[in-house]
Structure 1
């Protein structure tokens, strides 16, 4: 099984890489710069991948096409790379908001479009989003850029699910939980390994019957 994971050098991406490798999968671990932990795995690490860079993604697609060979495809594509900053009414940073929208919502769509020719009937796409993109679940405000970017990603994911269903490709919108990663300064309720196990289970359960669903890694279906 061929797995492609963005943002694989740390946190959830690294945990997903290790978990899939333990299952015997072939993992292409994408990142801008590798880490000691990622380099120590048997994943096929591809550095220099800025998920917002069109030329880098075109080069990536060609590299994967040649590496996979004729008749091979990507079974699971996980768009995991993302950034987080906190804006409030009293401290608004519109450049940071735009950057989060670019990296968290537009870039996953770019990655998916670039690699779509390498997917086939039965392939699955996981978009690592957040319940902070839920309108219904927002009871605290703040985090304007992150909330907006994840809401936009959710919208893109539903459109992808509709457009790709006739081609036999399913899409899941996946909230990992409040995970203990560098992104949140080590805070969180669960370690990356627990989140990764849950995300993999949700992807295993993903089908054309539930494509476009918004799931917590623990299996809970989340409100929009």
Structure 2
């Protein structure tokens, strides 16, 4: 189980400069956590107290290794792999190989590389959690039920992240590390758009609660922000 809110726990959040990542950083900081907010640039509106900004380009393995070097020997209770992108031009006709691979690099490969690089930090904590912010859009069972989005790269990247989550859960369970795939809902952010149904505050609050309550027995689960199970 991750550290109690208000206790000396540390959380690292990628893509923390805006949107859901920014709100996660805000809520963790207000709950008394030490927050390491990662992004390509420091946001114009700054961060709350207890938030430490670390520059990070998750698409650059050297940037990830540099972050791990700067954080050497620091315990990490929670790693939130939140950074994600969508295709600039979704649909089969508009699909371009380079753009497709860019989405895979950010949404799938980066969380794996982050887990690998920060594994020593996670091992220093008691009951650490890796939370991969996925999407029901990547679910084979449920992704197409009420969603006509045709972003091939985004869907494939999130489906692949699901498998990465399950693989990481199996590999890291003996070390007592919990790994979760979490669907944040359709969130009102730059990515989700103005028509989205869920305020970022509500999504982040639910995600934080799931992470806080998670134990190693839950490792490998695919859950919505409000605790419902998602079919793979």
The two structures have a TM-score, normalised by structure 1, of 0.93
Q: Show the counterpart of 2:59.
A: 52
CA distance in 1, matches of 2:157, 2:170: 20
Q: 2:99 aligns with which of 85, 96, 101?
A: 96
**Is contact 1:52–1:110 with CA below 8 Å preserved after alignment?**
no
Structure 1: gaps spanning 5 or more residues: none
Give, in angstroms, the shift of residue 141 of structure 1: 5.8
CA distance in 2, matches of 1:11, 1:123: 24
Q: Show the counterpart of 2:122.
A: 119
CA distance in 1, matches of 2:16, 2:174: 30
**Is contact 1:75–1:119 with CA below 8 Å preserved after alignment?**
yes
Q: 1:114-153 residue pairs with structure 2 within 5 A? A: 114-120=117-123, 121-139=126-144, 140=148, 142-153=150-161
Q: Show the counterpart of 1:108.
A: 111
Structure 2: gaps spanning 5 or more residues: 1-8
**Is contact 1:87–1:142 with CA below 8 Å preserved after alignment?**
yes
Tell me: CA distance 1:132–1:210, structure 2 relative to 1, closer, same or farther (3 Å).
Answer: same
Given the alignment of the two structures, is residue 75 of structure 1 paired with residue 77 of structure 2, yes or no? yes
How many pairs does the alignment contain? 217
Q: Show the counterpart of 2:6.
A: none
Q: Show the counterpart of 1:61.
A: 68
Q: Show the counterpart of 2:22.
A: 14
Q: 1:149-164 residue pairs with structure 2 within 5 A? A: 149-164=157-172
Higher share of residues assigned helix: 1
Give, in angstroms, the shift of residue 187 of structure 1: 2.8
CA distance in 2, matches of 1:78, 1:138: 22
Range with greater deviation from structure 2 (86-95 or 158-167)? 86-95
The two structures have a TM-score, normalised by structure 2, of 0.90
Over the residues paired in the alignment, what is the CA RMSD in angstroms? 1.3
CA distance in 2, matches of 1:16, 1:41: 12
**Is contact 1:181–1:187 with CA below 8 Å preserved after alignment?**
no
CA distance in 2, matches of 1:88, 1:138: 16
Runs of at least 4 residues off by over 6 Å:
none
CA distance in 2, matches of 1:17, 1:116: 21
Range with greater deviation from structure 2 (117-126 or 134-143)? 134-143
Q: 1:3 aligns with which of 11, 21, 39?
A: 11
1:118-149 deviation per Cα after TM superposition (whole angstroms, max 9, x unaligned): 11241110000000000111323621000000
CA distance in 1, matches of 2:27, 2:110: 24
1:6-60 deviation per Cα after TM superposition (whole angstroms, max 9, x unaligned): 00000110100010001110000000012123x242210112x111212111111
Give, in angstroms, the shift of residue 74 of structure 1: 0.2
CA distance in 2, matches of 1:104, 1:119: 21
CA distance in 1, matches of 2:94, 2:70: 42
